[in-house]
Amino acid sequence: MQLRDGVLCLAEGMRRGECSAVELAKAALERIALLDDALGCFLTVTPETALAQAEAVDRARARREDLTVLAGIPMALKDNLCTRGIATTCASRVLEGYAPPYDATAWTRLRSAGAVLVGKNNMDEFAMGSSTENSAFGPVANPWDLERVPGGSSGGSAAAVAAGEVVYALGSDTGGSVRQPAAFTGVVGLKPTYGRVSRHGLVAFASSLDQVGPIARTVADCALILQVIAGRDPLDASSVPVDVPDYRAMLEAGVRGLRIGVPREYFGPGVDPGVADCVREALDVLVGQGATAEECSLPHTGYGLAAYYLLAPAEASSNLARYDGVRYGRRADGRHTPRELYALSRGQGFGPEVKRRLMLGTYALSSGYYEAYYLKAQKVRTLVSRDFQAAFERFDLVAGPTTPDVAFRRGECSGDPLKLYMADALTIPANLAGLPAISVPCGFSRSLPVGLQLVGRAFDEGTLLRAGHASQQAASQWRRSPPVAAGGKGAAT
């Protein structure tokens, strides 16, 4: 059995005695040791933790205890999810070596379900980026082409799943940071409705936009993971007390009768023709299974990107003010006045992209500019939300490409931040509206993966998962394995 076989297959193998949790953990650790020098997916590897958790699962299975389907499955966490006693750096020098005194709620729930943590994934610093080139500890390579980016900011998580280093991972999605790297690496990425999954223990970037979500090889695996991590959490006031349905049971319902809206704005200028063709072919498959697809309009889509890059930096400028060199995190050496200490600690600790966004956010909130920029961006956010509300009066889902193009080459956008930001143009609207969205692999353009994005009504992840599962089951491209680095050379896995 291989890690790429997925949660259900591996769980069944353990139940039958074909493999053990310890064997799976060792396989994941060996694969990380083999591949990660070239890929750079992990900032921290936790062999002692993984083996101890796996041994506990094997003992429980030997006692014939009732175990969840996730018990014994090797997984990873994006390095902005707090893990008690294990380094959580957000890929920033500001938090280098920091080990939180508590766990994120999403991880607490997975650990209680028997998950086996093999490490923490690399990411864009403080989740600010779309390529995972902005990590203070080095970039991540795309397993499909080591010269290309895996997307961001959850690029380490997506690349680790795509390369078979882990079975699944948790990432965070503020403007597309789960879905965009999933599309770039040929895996599934789900952003739940805002408030569906607790943000407690997720290091804040933009609090009104951030959401924790799973990355896995299949929609079915994402459904299993969401089942565990979803639900009200008293430690997070923004989590919503809405019942969590049985997502796994909903998968086989099919798409017959589903109405799919296809926004013309999602196929406009800047969308690669090969990407558009793959997405349209995937929609044709769903129509062939009984769904209907009709063109529609989300007229304010084009304004979402600009609004996001005012709102998210504004919230970040507030959230990241806590890294001052006094309470925790990096502290500048020497004796300094408080003002000098703050400036030196932050100047030495934050990377250029974080500094760029903090300055933009501070400017947008400053006296004399608040109404001209921040307040206007909030009004645009409302218009984007109303577009979706109008669409969902006619449709059950909205569909289009996850990204305008396939993964770009490393360094291609480093001198042009606006070009980099455009990679999130199609994912940002769902974050602004707080809606659930999923990226499902749907083909290849120029030999690189393409993602189909589905957006649903608030708290209707079940319909997203139904449609995504139907799309994936009807296709075979997602079963292909990427070329990855082995011993410094490309090798198929």
Tell me the pLDDT band of 95, cut-offs 50, 70 and 90.
very high
pTM to 2 decimal places = 0.96
In whole angstroms, give the CA distance from residue 421 to residue 309.
Answer: 9
pLDDT at residue 73 tops 60: yes
Q: What are the residue numbers of the active site?
A: 78, 153, 177
Listed by start position, the domains of the chain span 3-259+436-492
Half-sphere exposure at residue 382, Cβ-oriented, CA atoms within 13 angstroms: 6
**Mean local confidence (pLDDT), 407-427:** 90
The secondary structure element, H or E, covering residue 296 is strand 292-296
Where are the alpha helices (H) located in 175-324, listed in sequence order?
Answer: 179-185, 219-229, 247-250, 273-288, 301-319
Tokens of 468: 């995504």
What distance in Å separates the CA atoms of residue 209 and residue 310, rounded to the nearest whole number? 12
Question: What integer is the mean pLDDT of 457-481?
Answer: 93
Confidence band of 493 (pLDDT split at 50, 70, 90): very low
Distance CA 446, CA 275 (A): 9
Residue 365 pLDDT level (bands cut at 50, 70, 90): very high
Task: Give the per-residue pLDDT at 485.
Answer: 44
At 153, is the pLDDT very low, low, confident or very high (cuts 50, 70, 90)?
very high
According to CATH, the topology of domain 3-259+436-492 is Amidase signature (AS) enzymes (3.90.1300)
User: Do the Cβ atoms of 21 and 71 come closer than 8 Å?
Assistant: yes
Q: Quick check: 380 pLDDT over 60?
A: yes
Query: What are 319-361's pLDDT values in tens digits?
Result: 999 999 888 888 888 888 988 998 999 999 999 999 999 999 9
Give me the chain's average pLDDT, please. Answer: 95
Average pLDDT over residues 202-220: 98
The structure tokens 């997203």 sit at 464
